[in-house]
A and B are shown apart, each in its own frame.
Chain A
Amino acid sequence: MHDLGEHFFRRAYGRLVALLSRRQGVHQLEAVEDAVQFALAAAVETWPTSSVPDNPEAWLFRVAHNHLVDEARRSTRHERLAVRYGAEAAMADAPPAFLEGEVRDDLLRMLFACCDDALPVESQLVLALKVLSGFDVREIAERLFMSEANVYKRLGRARQRLREVEFELADLTPAELASRLPAVQTILYVLFTEGYLSSHADGAIRRELCDDAIRLTHELAEHPVSAAPETFALLALMHLHAARLPARQDGSGGLLLLEEQDRSRWNQREIETGLVWLARSAEGATFSRYHAEAGIAAEHCLAPTLAETRWERIVACYSLLDQLAPSALHSLNRAVALAEWQGPLAGLALLDGLSPPSWLIGSYLWDAVLADLHLRAGHGALAEQHRAAAIASAPSAAVRAALERRLRSR
């Protein structure tokens, strides 16, 4: 039996949608997605009873391509389109096999197409998960904690936008690609974070999102138009976080805090890969927020124990991060690191000078940090007050359990 690999169908979906969209035009995206879906269904039906073709993707490509041609002939509306765009002529010469490099190029172009700054980031993410990661509406809703109706709406608007701008993948110039690169990095960062920080109970689902983000970022890092220090730093950051994923959960799916994690379960190969990309990201004069975040992750990975963490370096990285991408959340994290380095009062002093936005005050993080710092500083009443608030606003049972442990035991 031919082994297709764990995510073969989803990956083939993304690759074929990109490949066919480039040939057919992005305005045909829905027809292309239908055709690829049809080809995958045909594969599920025929491969197990006959055998898997030598080149499964080329087989899928031919079936999807033929389906598109049939559908175009069947529909009068598409017939007119076909005449206008000469689509049928373009479709007639399907390649017997396609070049790996070409598909990867198409995949990246599709990613760039998703990152249209006329769309909100959430919609870019929804579109990327649909066309590149091959998730359906229900699966996207589950992963992003959105309603299915919301996912539908976002997808509809995103596709409409692609039709309106008559944007063609093949037409993207290197300059245009370069100008969209920050948006592409953002979307991959968000995709990774969705997986890494998700309160999703199913660890496999979180891992899947992280792996998809890493896979696409590798494509980005290895392509000449997007092989930039920021991309390398982003990739380093992902690997250095992914290294610690297996240790973040206890046997029953509960969340483990950094101090509770068994560091021997950190994936050393991931750490090494992350450090290699971090070194590459340092070539050149750029220092981005991804550099700062990768630097923080690297410090955690390199510390043999929590006590041996070089907190002063982490504080410095958070300061840089706060300058590059100002956010009260970064200040909050800096306060935590500072408290580890110079004691709880130093952390509290930093937070005193802060006027946090309402979203942060309303989140459990703010109260959890204050509760912890006050507890360690011996301010019992204040600690209890913030502890109660943090636990009350915990977004999931796993987070609540972690808070209850942490804010009691020290």
Chain B
Amino acid sequence: MPRFLCLQRSFPATGGGERPSPAQMQAMYAKFNEWREKFQQNLVDLGGRLGAGRMALPDPPPDGPLVEAKELVGGYMVISATSLDEALQIARECPGLVRPGSGVEVIEVHAPG
């Protein structure tokens, strides 16, 4: 089955920046586990949030501003699906991924085999 890289993209939050209460977090946690259960066949690598990083560059370094991936991407995961549409649907259903201030970019990974 084709694989897809899902990148969590953060946008400037437009309102709704209220922090969830512990009870709401409990509900989010439960929802995430349900989602994980439902799509366990499709979840190749649940990935995670991106932390600190450094770039290895050729010498001399290339011209121009180099934007670090972390500036654009909050986290990643890898899923398998029969089509981009299906992959997009799986990612969309993931709790907390698509919400005010956050979205997901789903990209097919071409790999031999």
Partner-B contacts on A (CB < 8 A):
1, 4, 6-10, 12-13, 37, 40-41, 43-50, 134-136, 138-139
Contacts and interface: CB of A to CB of B under 8 A. Distances in A.
Contacts of B20: 41, 44
B29 A9 contact: yes
Given A49-B46, A49-B48, A136 B21 contact: yes
A9 B47 contact: no
A13 B22 contact: yes
B26 A10 contact: yes
22 contacts: A6-B26, A7-B26, A9-B26, A10-B23, A10-B26, A12-B22, A37-B19, A40-B25, A43-B29, A44-B28, A44-B32, A47-B29, A49-B46, A49-B48, A50-B46, A50-B48, A134-B23, A135-B21, A136-B19, A136-B21, A139-B21, A139-B23
B36 interface: yes
B29 A48 contact: yes
Contacts of A7: 23, 26
A9 B25 contact: yes
B49 interface: yes
B33 interface: yes
Closest 8 CB pairs of A and B: A136-B21, A49-B46, A9-B22, A134-B22, A9-B26, A48-B32, A10-B22, A13-B22
Contacts of A135: 21-23
Contacts of B48: 46, 49-50
Interface string B27-54: 0110011001100000000111100000
B91 to A, nearest CB: 14
Given A40-B25, A43-B29, A134-B21, 17 more contacts: A1-B33, A1-B37, A4-B29, A7-B26, A10-B23, A10-B26, A41-B19, A41-B20, A44-B28, A48-B32, A49-B77, A134-B22, A134-B23, A136-B21, A138-B21, A139-B21, A139-B23
Contacts of B26: 4, 6-10
Nearest to A36: B22
Contacts of A6: 26
Contacts of B33: 1, 48
Nearest to B37: A1
A206 to B, nearest CB: 15
A214 to B, nearest CB: 18
Most buried by B among A9, A10, A43: A9
Q: Could you tell me the dominant secondary structure of chain A's interface residues?
A: helix
Most buried by A among B21, B46, B49: B21
A83 B77 CA distance: 43
Contacts of B47: 49
Contacts of B23: 7, 9-10, 134-135, 139
Nearest to A10: B22
A138 B19 CA distance: 11
Contacts of A8: 26
A203 B43 CA distance: 37
A49 B79 CA distance: 13
A1 B49 CA distance: 20
Interface string B47-88: 111000000000000000000000000000100000000000
A44 B96 CA distance: 10
A216 to B, nearest CB: 16
Contacts of A138: 21
Interface string B1-35: 00000000000000000011111011011001100
Contacts of B36: 1, 48
Contacts of A40: 22, 25
A44 B30 CA distance: 9
Contacts of B49: 45-46
A149 B110 CA distance: 55
A139 B34 CA distance: 25
A10 B25 CA distance: 9
B15 to A, nearest CB: 15
Nearest to B36: A48
A45 B75 CA distance: 11
A44 B23 CA distance: 12
A330 B37 CA distance: 54
Contacts of A44: 20, 25, 28-29, 32, 96
A30 to B, nearest CB: 13
A1 B29 CA distance: 11
A332 B48 CA distance: 62
Contacts of B22: 9-10, 12-13, 37, 40, 134-136
A4 B21 CA distance: 17
A209 to B, nearest CB: 12
A17 to B, nearest CB: 10
Most buried by A among B22, B29, B96: B22
